[in-house]
Amino acid sequence: MTLLRFLFTLACAGALAACATRPLPPVAPPLLDAADRARAEALQAERAQALATMPAWSLTGRAAITRSGKGGSGRIEWHQDGGAFEVALAAPVTRQSWRLAVDSAGARLEGLEGGVRTGPDGQALLFEATGLEVPVDALGAWLRGLPADEAVHGTAQLAFGEDLLPLRLEQAGWSIDFRAWRAAGDGRPGLPLRIDARRGDAGVRLVVDAWGGTER
pLDDT of res. 95: 65
Alpha-carbon dihedral 120, 123, 124, 127, rounded to 10 degrees:
150
- At residue 14 the predicted structure's pLDDT band, cuts being 50, 70 and 90, is very low
Q: Do 147 and 158 contact (CB within 8 A), yes or no?
A: yes
**In whole numbers, what is the pLDDT of the chain averaged over residues?**
84
- At residue 39 the predicted structure's pLDDT band, cuts being 50, 70 and 90, is very high
Phi first, then psi: what are they for 152, rounded to 5°? -100, -45
- At residue 201 the predicted structure's pLDDT band, cuts being 50, 70 and 90, is confident
Q: What are the pLDDT digits (tens) for 46-76?
A: 999 999 999 999 999 998 877 676 666 788 9
pLDDT of res. 22: 55
Long-range Cβ contacts of 76-83 (<8 Å, 24+ apart)? 76/206, 78/139, 78/140, 78/143, 80/55, 80/56, 80/140, 81/55, 81/56, 82/55, 82/56
Q: Do 113 and 1 contact (CB within 8 A), yes or no?
A: yes
DSSP 11: G
In angstroms, the CA 161 to CA 118 distance is 41
Q: What are the pLDDT digits (tens) for 93-124?
A: 566 788 899 999 999 999 877 889 999 988 88
Please state the domain extents for the chain.
Answer: 3-19+32-208
Lowest mean pLDDT among 25-39, 131-145, 157-171, 187-201: 131-145
For residues 25 and 33, the model is more confident at: 33
Q: What are the pLDDT digits (tens) for 17-29?
A: 444 445 567 778 8
Region 184-200 average pLDDT: 90
pLDDT of res. 130: 65
In angstroms, the CA 54 to CA 56 distance is 6
CATH code for the domain defined by 3-19+32-208: 2.50.20.10
Q: Report whether pLDDT(147) > 50.
A: yes
Residue 74: Cβ-neighbour burial (10 angstroms; 0-12, 13-18, 19+): buried
Supply the pTM of this predicted model.
0.84
For residues 211 and 1, the model is more confident at: 211
Please enumerate in sequence order all residues whose Cβ is within 8 A of that of 141, keeping only pairs 6 or more positions apart, or say none.
Answer: 147, 148, 149
The H or E element that residue 198 is part of is strand 191-199
